[in-house]
Amino acid sequence: MATPTIAIVVPVLGDTAALSALTERIHRWTTQPAELIVVSAGPDAPLRALCLERGCRYLESVARRGTQLDQGAKEATASILWFLHADAEPHAASLEAIAHAVETGAEGGYFSFKFAGGRTWWKRLLERLTNLRTHLGGTPYGDQGIFARRDAYHEAGGFAHQALFEEVALVKNLRARGHFRALTLPIGVAPRRWERDGWCYRSLTNRSLAIRYLLGTPAERLAERYKGMAVTDRSAH
């Protein structure tokens, strides 16, 4: 089998500083992605300038993460697509881990959830609960670094063009294909939303959003009701 090529797709909503830190991290790795595609939520001159400086491909879309992700996926030419949040802290061996997973039969997968920054007992507890949930069949959300073979991604329907839970149907369809793998390698998840809103409140609200979505509440209605939390951060676990 030929060595797979990997495109990294990053949706950005005004978070140029976070993207700068992410691209600096990636450029230090021994193995480099074939493509690094940044999809902006509308025109953003500072972000465009950063992408030019860092050798990233810059695209413009609407402020809807599912649409941004899918647009980036459609523009990519590499054989594997890896979707990252701008504030992610992926491990230096992540590209090798993805390539090995695909070379050994995976069509897609995700990384182990781990909060970035200092270690506390409540961080460890939430990490274990999140990883247990996904191990038992729960949806891994975008901050766990979902990846997929490009052909499998498109055949599974891609990301839904919506403001919340854009990955739910995609993950379900990839899992149904039978080769969706949980990697043990962790990905650093920014804790800023939990620190801002409170660890218990943020976690319980995320679960409430997820349950209501699974019970049939439209994603756009949830996004509108939780505008301060859901649309600004656009992340729920």
pLDDT at residue number 4: 80
- From first CA to last CA, the distance across the chain in angstroms is 36
DSSP letter assigned to residue 231: I
Contact between 128 and 204 under an 8 Å Cβ cutoff? The reply is no
Sign of the Cα torsion 136, 171, 72, 230 reads negative
pTM here is 0.92
CA distance 195 to 201: 10
Instruction: Give me the tens of pLDDT residue by residue for the chain, a chain 237 residues long.
Output: 456 899 999 999 988 999 999 999 999 999 999 999 999 999 999 999 999 999 999 999 999 999 999 999 999 999 999 999 999 999 999 999 999 999 999 999 999 999 999 999 999 999 999 999 999 999 999 999 999 999 999 999 999 999 889 999 999 999 999 899 999 999 999 998 898 888 888 889 888 898 999 888 888 888 876 555 543 444 333
Phi, psi of 198 (to 5 degrees): 100, 135
Domains of the chain: which residue ranges?
6-190, 192-232
pLDDT at residue number 205: 87
Specify the CATH architecture of the domain 6-190: Alpha-Beta Complex (3.90)
213 CB-near residues (< 8 Å, 6+ apart): 164, 165, 168, 219, 222
Amino acid at 54: R
Q: What stretches of the chain adopt beta strand conformation (E)? A: 6-12, 35-40, 57-60, 80-83, 89-90, 108-115, 147-149, 180-189
Give burial (CB, 10 Å; 0-12/13-18/19+) of 94. Answer: buried
CA distance 35 to 52: 13
CA distance 182 to 108: 9
Beta pairing class for 80-83 and 147-149: antiparallel
pLDDT at residue number 197: 85
